[in-house]
Structure 1
Amino acid sequence: MKKSKLFAAIGGLGMVALSAFLMSADHMDAPSVKGSSADIADFYAFQGENNNNFVFVANIQGLLPAGQATEQAVFDESVLIEFNIDKDNDLKEDLVIQAIKRGDSMHFFGPAVPEYTGEEGLRSTILSSSARRSVKISTIDDIQVAEIDGIKLFAGPREDPFFFDLNKYNSIVAGDATEFSTEGTDYYAGKNVLSVVIELPKSMLPGGTVGVNQFSPDTPMYNVWVESKRKI
């Protein structure tokens, strides 16, 4: 396998079993990561509108001011976003999809077998010998979606989709309130993230593992998670 630059993980999010819709969020990271170009805010994995497809979404650099995402944040060419897919429930990645910025575009590699797995999977090399696809990075005024080989790709600013009443949560923690209201106030409304999205046919992945979900034992399941890795 042709090797490219070596990357080491500095952040990871969301070991989840994928069936229909799952999400994970982490907007308040440690000071060394929070606000950096590698900070992961959200990870979503779900079945697409076309139920023959899976969709993976990684949101980074959360809490960007409304209307200023492309002015205050850009994708970092030294940061690799890596979607990990475990098909046999051994909690080790069997396939990865990598995304990295080059110039004005986001380039995607895979799904392909990674060179490093398990504990060694904290580092990666770009799988430049695997299938390479790209999409021009969108701005607020210029939305770009590429469709290549049945795969849809997007990279650019979006409004943060995560809903959480942070102010009420802080009041409960401080003892000034005892419960959330029925509707709540979304602390993240109007704030932005930089999103990396890939939608691909399920047929591009090997079969998952049955018997994992006790509520749907015949449904094949995958463990999926996302990592951000910086060049070393």
Structure 2
Amino acid sequence: MSDHISGPRALAEPIADITDVYAFPSPENPGHLVLVVNTLPFARPDGRFSDGLIYRFRLRPLTLRDDPVGSRRYDTGTEEFVFDCVFSDPAEAGGAQTGSCRTPAGERIPFPVDDPGGGKGGGVRVFAGPRWDPFILDAPAALKTVATGRLAFTDPSAIFLDGKNVLGIVIEVDCAQVFGERVELVGVIAETLTRGRHNVRIERTGRPEVKNLLLGPKQFDQVNRDLEIRDLYNMEDAFHLADGYLGAYRARLNANLAFWDSLDGRVDWPADARGDHPLVDLVLADHLVVDVGKPYPENGTFLEIERAALAGSEHLTCGGRALNDDMMDTFLTFLINAGHGPVIRDGVDRSTRPATRTFPYLAEANPEPPRPPAHHHGRP
């Protein structure tokens, strides 16, 4: 469920729903960064992108600074690299569709949808099309955990509706050519926005499960128990949160982070003097953190840079998020016992159709995907 159906608007208009974002060094081209955004839960194997949306990646260079308490933090400046993908109306070409990617240098790269070769230009390569959803989680067990207050994962378990498809966009970037030699640590987010003179942000996503597991549950929040907060959060600029709802976000995160910490019967993340959970600021800095100078991992780098910063130490990996990374075990363990106890496993270790090590990385779409659940509305 990662970021699938992460609010009322996503449920009402699933074509704009971001399901996952990934950022990792290319396994086949050293010095290249791969950006992936998946959209439209339960896409058809012949699905097409909306011609009314902008599919956007935003990257900002990050600077690590030492804090007086011994930890480190990474600051975002104002410099930004933006990649915008837009698509033609497939109805005008008998179902065929083309896309165009505008690079940070302003170059436009055309490409046909669902062509594994994609399009190339200016140090950038682009693919877009239906692909097998790479996210792995026993989602019903996660929801049961929230509902009952007890860990509900079994080992082994199964991926929820395994074989479902998404619409994926993959951009591979020659870092030296596009960013310059000086950029190493970057923050990565993806957005969907309305296309036209006035662009309205529909969704924005950085790290997985921020909205569905950390902002979605209402019952633990004594301040804003009746507030559906995720649509408000989706409309925010991830690199610059407005003041208006910041208190509401913090109250919801304080409550839900404390809930996850409580599941092993012990407090591993004690609140500070103001009552804030130690991870609130990290969660609100909601972007993947990637070191483009480190080599490609297959597994185990999710949150490594953030955890190293909290400990005041140097990170050892590229961080970010790779397609085959079993990141939910890392995520759950970090929230529940801060890495001080056993690994919290969700019972699912790998996709039944893993991503590849060659462009466009995402596995081919399932020609016979499972049907969406009954509560899933909108275009399938």
1:54: which partner in 2?
A: 33
CA distance in 2, matches of 1:90, 1:188: 38
**CA distance 1:223–1:177, change in 2 (3 Å):** closer
Cα contact 2:85–2:101 (8 A) shared by 1: yes
Q: Which structure has more strand as a fraction of its residues?
A: 1
CA distance in 2, matches of 1:172, 1:96: 38
**Secondary structure, counterpart of 2:140 in structure 1:** helix
Q: CA deviation at 1:177?
A: 6.3
State whether structure 2 residue 21 is matched by structure 1 residue 29.
no
Cα contact 1:79–1:228 (8 A) shared by 2: yes
State whether structure 2 residue 55 is matched by structure 1 residue 77.
no
Cα contact 1:168–1:177 (8 A) shared by 2: no
**Secondary structure, counterpart of 2:7 in structure 1:** coil
CA distance in 2, matches of 1:105, 1:82: 16
Query: 2:6 is aligned with what amino acid?
Result: D
Q: State which of 186, 191, 196 in structure 2 corresponds to 1:227.
A: 191
**Secondary structure, counterpart of 1:229 in structure 2:** strand
Deviations 1:14-59 (A, max 9, x none): xxxxxxxxxx930132122224321111110110012210000111
CA distance in 2, matches of 1:178, 1:197: 35
Q: CA deviation at 1:189?
A: 1.6
CA distance in 2, matches of 1:98, 1:63: 23
CA distance in 1, matches of 2:99, 2:82: 16
Q: State which of 73, 79, 86 in structure 2 corresponds to 1:100.
A: 86
State whether structure 2 residue 157 is matched by structure 1 residue 184.
yes
Structure 1: 4+ residue segments shifted above 6 A: none
- Taking the TM superposition and a 5 Å limit, the aligned residue runs for 1:153-164 are 153-164=126-137
Cα contact 1:80–1:98 (8 A) shared by 2: yes
What is the RMSD of the two structures over their aligned residues, measured on CA atoms? 2.3
CA distance in 1, matches of 2:79, 2:193: 15
State whether structure 2 residue 21 is matched by structure 1 residue 43.
yes
Cα contact 1:135–1:145 (8 A) shared by 2: yes
Q: Which structure has more helix as a fraction of its residues?
A: 2
**Secondary structure, counterpart of 1:63 in structure 2:** coil
Cα contact 1:37–1:79 (8 A) shared by 2: no
Query: 2:100 is aligned with what amino acid?
Result: H
Query: 2:5 is aligned with what amino acid?
Result: M
Percent of aligned positions that are identical: 26
**Secondary structure, counterpart of 2:154 in structure 1:** coil
- Which one scores higher on RCO, CA 8 angstroms, separation ≥ 6? 1
State whether structure 2 residue 132 is matched by structure 1 residue 132.
no
CA distance in 2, matches of 1:184, 1:41: 21
Cα contact 1:105–1:135 (8 A) shared by 2: yes
Deviations 1:68-112 (A, max 9, x none): 332xx4211110011101114425451101111025211000124
Query: 2:171 is aligned with what amino acid?
Result: I
Cα contact 2:5–2:17 (8 A) shared by 1: no
Query: 1:189 is aligned with what amino acid?
Result: D
**CA distance 1:52–1:162, change in 2 (3 Å):** same
**CA distance 1:167–1:200, change in 2 (3 Å):** same
CA distance in 2, matches of 1:51, 1:188: 35
**CA distance 1:99–1:173, change in 2 (3 Å):** same
Cα contact 2:57–2:82 (8 A) shared by 1: yes
CA distance in 2, matches of 1:52, 1:172: 41
Normalized against structure 1, the TM-score is what? Answer: 0.67
Q: CA deviation at 1:149?
A: 4.2
2:249: which partner in 1?
A: none
**CA distance 1:162–1:91, change in 2 (3 Å):** farther
Gapped regions of structure 2 (runs ≥ 5): 63-74, 90-96, 199-380
Cα contact 2:119–2:125 (8 A) shared by 1: yes
CA distance in 2, matches of 1:148, 1:177: 51
Q: CA deviation at 1:184?
A: 2.1
Larger radius of gyration: 2
